[in-house]
């Protein structure tokens, strides 16, 4: 290839990266393809049939447009297997014997990869040196220093920070739980980045439970469980996000349990996140639940008013948005959603301000978010509370409306009465009539009793599990919000 050809290829690569994004270009094209010309067509050489079909399906138009832009005239684009790339991939796979790039994109098209490169876990081929790390070099990992701390997440943040500062002296494992948008993934990413910075010789694994499951299934099909197990069990710290997705996958749970035991026995830090307290996740195996409860378990709640203000101030500064402080305060009072909803509202206000050419004052906020706020208003009924309590405690429909007095029904009924007074406009008399046909004084007594349970951090027994009332109410309220 001449110097001129090299220049054209370089320009073509830059243009393709600009069109499809740098991460996708690095994943599918950089050092994995070869460009050559045959008459009036561009031939893109690839390593295997799978990559050939995937690139033809997803990127043929982008490549053709780049050729037209760089060379000034249209060329036909054809993807073909390049013998040198094919042999190089096979040699690399044989040499490493690990879960490699060619294994994550197999030569047969029986499993389509995600439309975007998986951003969370990087299990590409690499030497097993402890100086190597997981994680995409082009990913912007969130940091603990960017996490807005408030009463809703203070303890969870402090625990994550302690893992970074003294990973071998903190409770192991660390479990972070809470509803979506409360910052669990942010904390996990912050721990990941902090450990890599504090311990550059460690190999830190960050993976979602979905990624773990997919790798496990793929390794079983390819008869490469040895390489899979070596990869995860030889790491120096393991961070797993969204553990609840293992709930219905018994074989994967068992595999993860063995991985957990190996790492725990060697004192390797484990940090895991899930959407509820492990004790309330009835689909996790008793053995795995027992392991999780052996460490520190901390919850994150939706942001309170002061935390929402801090999040809006921080995010507006990071996004370079000029929004007066009084407007941010008003936004925090209007919005009661999670972090993602706050950021979405912030973008809406900024865009509305730019389009109209008006300052982002309180009046503009009300106009920009009028539709969002109108659709976010939701009326909770007694039937909704009834359904949510029965769903969480796995009671038969109508059980709370019966007159049964045994503890298995009366305790959930008291919780339902408490939540009805909190989330609906129903009077005590209406609540009593709906739940068991009792009078208003019984509903008043039920509310007072639940408040005492909360003040004394009381737990209740359901089946074979003792559950804190506070955690149980959180779970029901999360069900109510769906």
**Other beta carbons less than 10 A from residue 247's beta carbon:** 18
389 shares its domain with 428? yes
pLDDT at residue 376, as a whole number: 55
100 shares its domain with 25? yes
Instruction: Decide if 123 is inside a domain.
Output: no
Structure token digits, residue 344: 């979405």
d(CA 402, CA 420): 17
What contacts 24+ positions apart, CB below 8 Å, involve 427-430?
Answer: 430/382
Which domain covers residue 228, as residue numbers? 144-298
Task: Write the CA distances from 359 to 89, 322, 326, 364, integer angstroms.
Answer: 56, 9, 12, 8
Total domains present in the chain: 4
**Other beta carbons less than 10 A from residue 78's beta carbon:** 14
Order of all β-strands in the sheet with 41-46: 34-38, 41-46, 76-81
309 shares its domain with 343? yes
**Which CATH number characterizes residue 84's domain?**
3.30.300.180
What contacts 24+ positions apart, CB below 8 Å, involve 311-315?
Answer: 311/148, 311/339, 311/342, 311/343, 312/342, 312/346, 314/146, 314/148, 315/342, 315/343, 315/346
**Which CATH number characterizes residue 357's domain?**
1.10.8.60
**Which CATH number characterizes residue 389's domain?**
1.10.1750.10
pLDDT at residue 173, as a whole number: 94
Beta bridge partners of 206: 239
- In 3D, which of 133, 103, 291 has the Cα closest to residue 200? 133
179 shares its domain with 258? yes
pLDDT at residue 110, as a whole number: 34
User: Residue 381's Cα: distance from chain center in Å?
Assistant: 31
Angle 296-301-307 from CA coordinates, rounded to 5°: 115
Provide the residue count of the chain: 482
Answer whether 322's CB lies under 8 Å from 156's CB: no
Domain end, chosen from 298, 327, 344, is at 298
218 shares its domain with 240? yes
Which residues, in sequence order, are CB contacts of 21 under 8 Å at separation 6+? none
Beta bridge partners of 460: 467
3-class secondary-structure state, position 412: helix
pTM listed for this prediction: 0.57
Instruction: Decide if 115 is inside a domain.
Output: no
Reading the chain (482 residues) residue by residue, the pLDDT tens digits are: 444 567 788 888 888 988 888 878 888 888 889 988 877 788 999 888 778 888 888 888 889 888 888 887 888 899 988 888 877 877 765 554 433 333 333 333 333 344 433 333 333 333 333 333 454 445 678 899 889 999 889 999 999 999 999 898 889 999 999 888 889 999 999 999 999 999 999 999 999 999 999 999 999 998 899 999 999 999 999 999 999 888 778 889 999 999 999 999 999 999 999 988 887 776 788 899 889 999 999 988 888 888 888 888 888 887 777 778 888 888 888 777 778 888 888 888 888 888 888 888 888 888 888 877 665 555 678 998 999 899 888 888 888 988 888 888 899 999 999 999 888 878 888 899 999 888 888 988 999 999 999 888 888 887 667 788 888 888 888 777 66
164 shares its domain with 280? yes
Beta strand 465-468 with 459-462: parallel, antiparallel or unpaired? antiparallel
pLDDT at residue 263, as a whole number: 94
Instruction: Decide if 117 is inside a domain.
Output: no
């Amino acid at each position: 290839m001449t110097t001129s050809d090299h220049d054209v290829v370089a320009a073509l690569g830059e243009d393709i990266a600009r069109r499809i994004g740098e991460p996708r270009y690095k994943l599918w094209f950089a050092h994995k393809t070869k460009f050559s010309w045959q008459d009036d067509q561009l031939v893109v050489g690839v390593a295997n049939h799978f990559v050939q079909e995937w690139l033809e399906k997803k990127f043929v138009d982008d490549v053709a447009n780049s050729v037209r832009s760089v060379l000034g005239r249209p060329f036909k684009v054809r993807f073909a297997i390049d013998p040198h790339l094919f042999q190089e991939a096979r040699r690399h796979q044989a040499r490493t014997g690990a879960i490699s790039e060619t294994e994550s994109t197999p030569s047969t098209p029986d499993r389509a990869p995600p439309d975007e490169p998986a951003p969370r876990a990087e299990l590409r081929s690499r030497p097993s040196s402890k100086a190597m790390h997981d994680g995409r070099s082009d990913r912007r990992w969130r940091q603990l220093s960017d996490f807005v701390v408030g009463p809703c997440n203070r303890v969870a943040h402090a625990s994550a920070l302690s893992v970074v500062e003294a990973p071998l002296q903190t409770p192991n494992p660390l479990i972070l739980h809470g509803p979506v948008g409360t910052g669990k993934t942010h904390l996990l990413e912050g721990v990941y980045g902090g450990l890599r910075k504090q311990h550059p010789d460690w190999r830190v694994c960050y993976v979602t439970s979905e990624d773990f499951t997919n790798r496990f299934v793929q390794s079983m099909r390819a008869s490469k469980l040895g390489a899979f197990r070596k990869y995860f069990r030889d790491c120096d710290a393991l961070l797993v996000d969204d553990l609840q997705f293992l709930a219905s996958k018994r074989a994967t749970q068992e595999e993860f349990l063995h991985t957990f035991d190996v790492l725990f026995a060697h004192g390797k830090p484990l940090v895991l996140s899930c959407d509820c307290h492990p004790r309330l996740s009835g689909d996790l195996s008793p053995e795995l639940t027992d392991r999780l409860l052996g460490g520190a378990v901390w919850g994150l709640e939706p942001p309170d008013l002061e935390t929402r203000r801090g999040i809006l101030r921080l995010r507006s500064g990071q996004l370079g948005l000029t929004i007066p402080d009084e407007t941010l305060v008003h936004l925090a009072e209007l919005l009661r959603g999670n972090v993602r909803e706050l950021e979405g509202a912030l973008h809406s206000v900024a865009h509305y301000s730019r389009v109209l050419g008006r300052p982002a004052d309180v009046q503009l906020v009300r106009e920009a978010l009028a539709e969002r706020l109108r659709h976010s208003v939701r009326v909770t009924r007694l039937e909704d509370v009834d359904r949510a309590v029965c769903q969480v405690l796995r009671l038969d429909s109508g059980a709370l409306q019966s007159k049964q007095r045994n503890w298995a029904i009366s305790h959930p009924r008291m919780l339902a009465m408490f939540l009805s007074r909190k989330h609906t406009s129903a009077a005590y008399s209406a609540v009593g009539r709906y739940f068991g046909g009792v009078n208003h004084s019984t509903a008043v007594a039920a509310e007072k009793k639940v408040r005492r349970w909360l003040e004394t951090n009381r737990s209740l027994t359901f089946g074979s599990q003792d559950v804190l009332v506070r955690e149980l109410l959180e779970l029901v309220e999360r069900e109510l919000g769906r």
